[in-house]
Structure 1
Amino acid sequence: MNHSLFSKWPLSALLIFCAVFLACKKPVDPANDTHLSKNKTPLPNLAGIPAYPLDWEHIDFMPSPAGTPPIPVPWSSGLGGRKMDEDIVFDYKKADGWELVYNTFNNNVVYNPAYFMLYNKYRGLLRTYFYFSTPANYPSSNLNYQLKLLGTAAANSPILNFSSKDVIKINDNAGAVSQLQQHMVSSTGSWYAAEFEIAYDHTIGSTDYQNLQFEWSINPNSITQISLNGKETGTISGTIEHQQPAPNFFANLPNGVIDAGMKIGSKKAAENLKFPKSEQLKNAIIDAASNGVSGLIKGFLSGLLGGGGSTTVAQQVNLKINSTIETSGTATVSSQLFTNTFSIPGTLNNQNSPGFYPSYNQPLGLFYLSAEPIIKVKRTTYNLDSPPSLEGARVRFDFSIDEPSHQILFNPALLAVADISNLRKQIILTKTFGSDVLDRDASILSSEIIAEREIYEVERLTLVGSLPTSILTSNILMRISFDVTPKDGSPKITVVKTFKSTGQPI
């Protein structure tokens, strides 16, 4: 450097030069993404950079640098490919609760893959749209999306507990959930999307971002044969979810069998499921979807009913119905398309995290329970005959919810924008009895079919004979439902969740 040259400048000129230099310097594009931008140089790791803004509702093409091929928005018609569940394509309006969390589309740098993430504050859904432009075909028959928790607080967080099962165990926290979709990877540019339902973690505001983060990855999977409830299908025709920390959706399965949740996004999606040898299962799922559309809580244990009211598409119904899925042959992972770590909205100090921090920064999820519910079971024996006879022997079980055993923890961020009403709790019994044992006339219950399982919604159960309480206490659930009514006048959403409960004889 020529020090003599600078020594001739007055101090004021030096200050002006420095100010202009700093003002004109382009900001470095941040990313904690494991990929490179299109210029093939690693992106520097900076702290505390806001995600790029995106007015996704009012654009036809995504932001991109001049001279790069235009990318149409995911819901455009006839301009690009998309590989995502049809029931989510047109459900993206801010008026229906969607908020921007992350976005990498911008006018300066092209990321491959590029993505943006939305969160629905009325439904507790986290959705990411990915745009891939791959150099070649991937030898896969389906795509596995995985959402995983990282950090020292991961084991104690329930945030993924709503994502894979229709029955939630309060303290059985999911460290990772996987979603399998039937779509293959295209060799041309195409949109892909996946969403996961998030449970509220009431400790999130006091948890440092370094101790709890999301890792989202995408892996092509291949499997030669798939069966649902023992019925061969050969292909995945819907979306299924289960707890799985491995990139291979079918890894580490005992005898190739998993209990997974089928995600039913609409009645049409249920009708399109392929169960060539199990019409009973398909019909039960269609009935559950029909009930959900009409607001009837029957035939399912987990669901989000309504929402999406600003569009002309049919009413949203997001059900999760567990079913046994069997596989045979060899499941393989061809490669990894994407992996990235995200700071979770609402965590402490996340605006200091390297790379992007979230645009929407309130805690995620609608609610959770403080503890496993306790269901009190009162047993009474009597006899219909006098003198007593073997045929007249009866045992009556009366069920009641121990309200002090648990609290419903609603997310304050939800309560700030919506009202909760029509809260209802139902006792569900998963053990059923034949007509030779069940005295239906002396019972207060109704039967439901969940996939191919019968359950009882029960207040009183009367059986022939003198059976002990222990046959019931491990088979009791509590189903909770309530309405979320947005304060801005948007359509209400009915939330349905079912929790494993402890039966307590009294």
Structure 2
Amino acid sequence: MRKIKHIGLFLGILFTISSCQSENASENAFLSNISKTRAYLPVEFDWANIDWMPTPPGQARIPSPWMGAGSIVSNYGTDIANDRFKSDGWELVYNTFDPNAERLSNPYFVLYNKYRGTLRFFLYVTTPFVVPSSYVMDGISINSATPTSLLCFLGKEIVDATKNETQYSQIQHMPYDGSSPLATEKWHMIQYELAYDPNLSSTSNDLSFSIYLKYCNIQTINLGGTIEGTIRGTIGAASSSNLFSDLKKGAETIGTGILAGIGTNFIAKNETNANTGENLLGLRKEVFKSISTGIKSALTGSIKDLPNSLFKGLSAIFGSQNNQPIPVNLQFESTISLKGTISEEGALPVSSFAFWIPGTNIAPHAAGQIPLYNKPLGILNFDGCPKVEPILMYEIIGPVNPNEASEYEASYKVSARYKSNLAQYLIVNPEVREIADVTIKKQELVRIDNGYTICSSNSFYIGLENYRHEPINGPHKYPDLAVRFTIEVQPKNGDSPAVIIKTFKINSKKEI
């Protein structure tokens, strides 16, 4: 029984599935048991090809997450269920399935994709319970006094690399087949995209994740378009957003968040009219149509053709199967209105685990599971918020002769031209460079203050001047800019490639 008691206690993620009333008791029990555990490696198994999970004799068999009743297909479709093989870049990090255990209670395993920088958690609920709720809410946070940028990609279309995030929360969408989102004898998948932090390899062993899973009730959602009664795309927000704060009070909340999608079902199941852009997500028609058109264009050709497609998203990851792209992580920023409550009571199963972050300096005497994949996480990051100085360009549009011109008459149209080669600020994980060729396929400037417009040129209109080169109608207006990278990760061993699209804020403001 000692072995079973400790199977899920210390892996490095404080992963809590509990009610509010039991959180403190659960945490105290967890802390009291740390001293009783000792380091061990998780059981390895062929997760991608098995039909049944490794379970002890006498316990009811547990099917794999990939097919049948209770699988992840109801939430994410077959393209994501089939995205699980080592040739796609997946590695087993943690696992509590053990055929030699006495009994498994709410077991799970964790995969990491070394070509995309994404973690996927697969939890199978065995404890019977009744939940009067409509949605599953989950979140991840960092437990450490040491600052880290691991979570800075979550909840944002445009990343400010100077700001670290300590927490991210999301509400998962309703299963497409109409089944209950949280149920017994069912698989639950949670995915997070991680940024590369070059400082983690020297970080002490106090660095761990915390993950929670609970349920909530949402009556309505509005993504700037129509009011919908069902959430059909994952809604997420970082700790710097207050989107979910008022839900705890049962009040309506409005804030900036992320509409996230995984798999082709994100578009296929939510599009009601391809011509007009009518959709079930609650997005404005023109916004959804733009997203839909771009994703369809990206999926038409091969993964190699994707950088030249019509897809204009600012935060996305595409994997591939048989050289065809699969949207495995999409993020679109939106002003979101939610009305509902975060439930704080109920009969959810109670479990606590710990999860050391792979790639950190884990002490030899550390308690609990040691990660099977123990290398720095994340594919890339960006170094700060570099300042870019514009070169002013003048186009004559009126008289420049003082004898012919008025000081109130425009003589010049002024544009600011920027150098867009910011590749020197992109930081790539050395572990990734060892196994893959990382290539910047495209680099573009994005105008933030004009509806997130991707600019084909690096020149921006900023104002008019008279013949004396004095601004007319006030000071020149310099644009807020970001840089959008389209990056190909091509494994050196011939495994399936990936394309990552990330956009980072830059300092383009000129001192006047």
TM range (shorter): 0.7 to 0.9
Alignment map for 1:155-166 (pairs within 5 Å): 156-166=147-157
Structure 2 unaligned spans of 5+? 18-28, 175-179, 271-279, 466-470
Q: Name which structure has the greater RCO, CA cutoff 8 Å, separation 6+.
A: 2
Q: 1:109 to 1:370 in 2, by over 3 A?
A: farther
- 1: CA distance, partners of 2:98 / 2:388: 54
Matches within 5 A, 1:260-299: 260-273=257-270, 274-275=280-281, 278-293=284-299, 294=301, 295=306, 296=309, 298-299=311-312
Q: Note if 1:416 corresponds to 2:415.
A: no
CA distance, structure 2, for counterparts of residue 249 and residue 112 of structure 1: 33
In the alignment, is the contact (CA less than 8 A) between 2:71 and 2:186 conserved in 1?
yes
1:392 CA drift (Å): 5.2
Q: Which amino acid aligns with 1:202?
A: P
Aligned residue for 1:343, secondary structure, equals coil
The CA distance in 2 between the partners of 1:305 and 1:142, in whole Å, is 26
Alpha-carbon separation, structure 2, partners of 1:95 and 1:159: 25
Does structure 1 residue 300 correspond to structure 2 residue 277? no
Q: Is 1:479 aligned with 2:467?
A: no
175 and 464 in structure 1: CA distance in 2 versus 1, 3 angstrom threshold:
closer
The verdict on how the C-alpha distance between 1:26 and 1:455 changes in structure 2, with shifts beyond 3 A counting, is: closer
SS of 2:296's partner is helix
In the alignment, residue 262 of structure 1 is paired with which amino acid?
A: L
Tell me which amino acid in the other structure corresponds to 2:185.
G
Secondary structure class of the residue paired with 1:270:
helix
Q: 1:80 to 1:277 in 2, by over 3 A?
A: closer
Alignment correspondent of 1:327:
338
Query: 1:221, 1:249 within 8 Å by CA — same for their partners in 2?
Result: no
Q: Quick check: 1:309–1:315 contact (8 Å CA) kept in 2?
A: no
Aligned to 1:90: 82
Partner of 1:179: 170
Matched, 1:251 2:230: no
Gaps of 5+ in 1: 1-24, 433-449
**3-state SS, counterpart of residue 313 of structure 2:** coil
What is the CA deviation profile of residues 69-111 of structure 1, one whole-angstrom value per residue up to 9, with x for unaligned ones?
0000000235767654225222100011000000000111433
Q: 8 Å contact 2:260–2:331 — kept in the other structure?
A: yes
Q: Secondary structure at the match of 2:419?
A: strand
CA apart distance, 1:412: 1.2
CA distance in 1, matches of 2:421, 2:454: 21
In 2, are the aligned partners of 1:179 and 1:241 still within 8 Å (CA)?
yes
Using a 3 Å threshold, how does the CA distance of structure 1 residues 502 and 80 change in structure 2: closer, same or farther?
A: closer
For residues 18-29 of structure 1, what are the structure 2 equivalents within 5 Å?
29=6
Q: How far apart are the structure 2 equivalents of 1:362 and 1:352? A: 18
Report the more deviating stretch, 180-189 or 363-372. Answer: 180-189
1:112 paired residue number: 105
Partner of 1:32: 9
Equivalent residue, structure 2, for 1:194: 190
CA distance in 1, matches of 2:150, 2:412: 48
- Cα contact 1:287–1:299 (8 A) shared by 2: no
Query: 1:365 pairs with 378, 399, 403, which one?
Result: 378
Letter in 2 for 1:503: S
Which secondary structure does the structure 2 equivalent of 1:318 belong to? strand
Q: How many residues align?
A: 452
Matched with 1:133 is 126
Give the whole-Å Cα distance in 2 for the aligned partners of 1:303 and 1:168: 12
Using the aligned pairs only, state the percent identity: 25
Q: 1:59 to 1:111 in 2, by over 3 A?
A: same
Paired residues for 1:318-397 under 5 Å: 318-335=329-346, 337=349, 339-386=352-399, 387-388=404-405, 390=409, 393-397=412-416
> Corresponding residue for 1:231?
226
Q: CA deviation at 1:350?
A: 4.8
User: RMSD of the TM alignment (CA)?
Assistant: 3.2
Tell whether 2:66 aligns with 1:75.
Answer: yes
